[in-house]
Amino acid sequence: MNYYILEHEINKGDKYVDFEFDMNLGLILEGQNSPKTYYQGKNDTDYLSGMYGMSEKAKDFFMSLKNPHLEFISTKVYHIDTDESLDLYLMKVNIELDCVDYEESELFMLSDKKIRSIKRLVLKKDIINEEIFNIKNLLYSVTVNESLKNKMSDYGLKGFRFVSVDEYPLY
């Protein structure tokens, strides 16, 4: 089975939350208050923020999976020019798997064991039995299996880039 790390893909004109405002959404995910958050663009998309902020369509898709490890937090973001509000749903993936094959991977880590850079990432696929999960010690690592990737594509979700774990560089 192949695995893919979800990344945010922004096409010209898409609605998206800029990186500087993503940190506000990170605060909300942590249960803290956040300053007003803005988005830009005009074209509808389903993945609007690198902090796993998505459209109602995407939220409904993930909710249909009935996965007990997924949680959604509703918030609003505002257009940077018009102040028009937009509903945004932040997805928390509450399962983290210790599935990195540290002997086969080429990684740089500090004493805190957090992965800082990756030349080659190899997973212990035999211990993975989830369709969506976070990789332990790797920030922003929502990972999906090939079956879920295909379901997302078939459903027509836009704004998601699927980066194969085999090709995932982090510098």
Does 169 score more than 80 pLDDT?
no
**Angle at CA 64, nearest 5°, toward 63 and 67?**
65
* Mean pLDDT value of segment 139-159: 96
C-alpha 117/C-alpha 66 separation (Å) is 33
Does 5 score more than 70 pLDDT?
yes
Mean pLDDT across the chain: 94
- The single residue listed with the structure tokens 């945010």 is 8
Residue 74 contacts residue 81 (beta carbons within 8 Å): no
pLDDT by residue (tens digit) across 82-123?
A: 999 999 999 999 999 999 999 999 999 988 889 999 999 999
C-alpha 57/C-alpha 34 separation (Å) is 24
Residue 50 contacts residue 19 (beta carbons within 8 Å): yes
3-state DSSP call for residue 21? helix
pLDDT by residue (tens digit) across 32-47?
A: 999 999 999 999 999 9
| The total number of structural domains that make up the chain | 1
Q: How confident is the model at residue 139 (pLDDT cuts 50, 70, 90)?
A: confident
Q: How confident is the model at residue 51 (pLDDT cuts 50, 70, 90)?
A: confident
Domain extent, residue 11, equals 3-167
C-alpha 143/C-alpha 52 separation (Å) is 12
